[in-house]
Amino acid sequence: MSRVDRIVGFVEDRLSLDDDRDMLGKAFPAEDSFLLGEVALFCFLTLVLTGMFLGMFFEPSTSDVTYEGSVERFQGEDMPEAFVSVLHITYDIPFGMFIRRLHHWAAHLFVASIGLHMLRVFFTGAYRNPRELNWVVGTGLAALAMGAAYTGYALPFDEFASTATGIGYNLAKSIPILGGVVSKVVFGGEFPSSATIPRLYFLHVLVIPVLIGVLIAVHMGILMRQKHTEAQREGDVDTQRGIVDSDDDSRVIGLPAFPNQTAVSAVVFFLTLATLSTLAGFLPVHNVAEYGPNNPAGTPELIMPDWFLMWVYGFLKLLPSWMSFTVAGIHVNTEFIGGIVLPTLVFAAILAWPFVDFREDPIHFTANPLKRPWQTAVGVAAVVFIMIASIAGMNNIAAKVLGTETGPINALLTVAVFLGPLAAAAVTYLVLRGNRPARADRSAEEVASDD
């Protein structure tokens, strides 16, 4: 069999392309943690709708205009049009501040729900055959979600956002050989230039959302074609279609897609919207009026990215300058290593994981993390690694709290980022290695099953 035939066979087998099941009767296990993917979907829908509202008033331009809005501090000043339009949305458009806050919190919950969803899939082994393709798609969605948040972060063009965005520009420019081209394509040239905001706006409202929409469609399509995973059953289950053996993974016990799961999804949508509305109503977001418009001559006292990119910032802070080197006239600096190479390796490791923990035969039951010693140990180590790197991104705050300089903090965190994950993995493995696979509790009250 040729390599092409093997690839085609792999895809056909994973997507069950020869199977013509009734999608309306597809069973969804009644597991609350399985709904995290739906939370992410509804957050994306909220982002699209609120983004359409904000896009009607936002001006993606750095040209100066005279401000004549409600903020007395800036009355009569000439400021970038992008900054002025955000002030206008926030303080002069009815419900503008609420919609802007709703958009902000939806972005954060979107990234968080994707991350939690992937952790659930990882620790329960739901990425195994035949679901490797959906894990790859989910990894792409996580990367795009972070990219969407970053490009949107720059749009107000206030002093804080533009300074933080400049870090991304320096990372793009640090790429050997291609840095100049990449920085021009993404940022429109030397940052900040007149093309920066229009370029990032185009990426934020069109390119990245379209890519996210395509991957969500692919993700949902694969999910509908495949059997859903479910927890191990405690015993045989009596359904409307007969008795299903506890070890029979050819049939999924759960709620029919319509109307039962549809009703559950509706509840999840309104709970997600209610949560976001509560956050938007009571918690403030980035205060552009406080920071003022972009000032190339000034730098805010405290600069750091959002929490989901803090680990990348931590790499940049921990890597010593002596790690820069030049080979054959090509300079490789620590910004490229910490901001491009290491994050790429992290995502590459995530992407490759289903092919590391590979199974020849299809597995439709999820696993108990406590019965998977080495896989759970790897997952715990990865979480600890990201957490320590994120703390490193806040080293200045840690130094201030502890009343010391950042030097000693960095030295401690550099050791911790290597030894911490290893120690966490070792402890996890030693605690769990004596466990044997066992059946998890499972309710017998579900009413539908997939043949």
For tokens 């939806």, the residue is 106
pLDDT at residue 437, rounded to an integer: 55
Residue 416 belongs to a domain: yes
Confidence class for position 20, pLDDT limits 50, 70, 90:
very low
Q: How far apart are CA 236 and CA 254, in angstroms?
A: 14
pLDDT at residue 25, rounded to an integer: 60
Q: Kindly report the CATH number assigned to the domain that includes residue 337.
A: 1.20.810.10
Confidence check: pLDDT of 300 > 90:
no
Residue 8 belongs to a domain: no
HEC string of 200-241 equals: HHHHHHHHHHHHHHHHHHHHHHHHHHCCCCECCCCCCEEECC
Residue 95 φ/ψ, nearest 5 degrees: 65, 10
Residue 211 belongs to a domain: yes
Confidence check: pLDDT of 31 > 60:
yes
Residue 69 belongs to a domain: yes
Q: What's the CA angle centered on 207, arms 132 and 214, to 5 degrees?
A: 35
Q: Are 137 and 219 within 8 A, CB to CB? A: yes
pLDDT at residue 446, rounded to an integer: 38
Confidence class for position 314, pLDDT limits 50, 70, 90:
very high
Question: What is the SS3 assignment for 237?
Answer: strand
User: 48: buried, middle or exposed (CB in 10 Å: 19+, 13-18, 0-12)?
Assistant: middle
In this predicted model, what pLDDT tens digit does every residue of 103-153 receive, in sequence order?
999 999 999 999 999 999 999 999 999 999 999 999 999 999 999 999 998
Give the residue among 51, 48, 39, 49 at the shortest CA–CA distance from 114: 39
pLDDT at residue 4, rounded to an integer: 66
pLDDT, mean of residues 312-316 = 95
DSSP at 307: G
Structure pTM?
0.89
pLDDT at residue 345, rounded to an integer: 97
Which neighbouring-strand residues pair with 365?
A: 230
- Lowest-pLDDT choice from 6-20, 81-95, 166-180, 402-416: 6-20
pLDDT at residue 160, rounded to an integer: 85
pLDDT, mean of residues 46-63 = 96
Confidence check: pLDDT of 441 > 70:
no
The total domain count for the chain is: 1
In this predicted model, what pLDDT tens digit does every residue of 233-257 receive, in sequence order?
777 776 666 787 777 777 777 777 7
Q: Are 21 and 451 within 8 A, CB to CB? A: yes
Residue 182 belongs to a domain: yes
Residue 4 belongs to a domain: no
- For the chain, what percent of residues have pLDDT higher than 90? 63
The more confident residue out of 159 and 50 is 50
Secondary structure element (H or E) that encloses residue 46, with its range = helix 36-55
The angle, 0 to 180 degrees and rounded to 10, between the axes of the packed helices 373-393 and 406-432 is 170
Confidence check: pLDDT of 14 > 50:
yes
- For the chain, what percent of residues have pLDDT higher than 70? 90
Query: Structural domain of residue 166, as residue ranges?
Result: 24-440
pLDDT at residue 116, rounded to an integer: 96
Residue 11 belongs to a domain: no
Confidence check: pLDDT of 19 > 70:
no
Residue 304 belongs to a domain: yes
- The pLDDT mean for the chain works out to 88
What sign has the CA pseudo-torsion 48, 52, 53, 57? positive
Q: Are 254 and 30 within 8 A, CB to CB? A: yes
In this predicted model, what pLDDT tens digit does every residue of 337-382 receive, in sequence order?
999 999 999 999 999 999 999 988 888 889 999 999 999 999 999 9
pLDDT, mean of residues 384-407 = 92
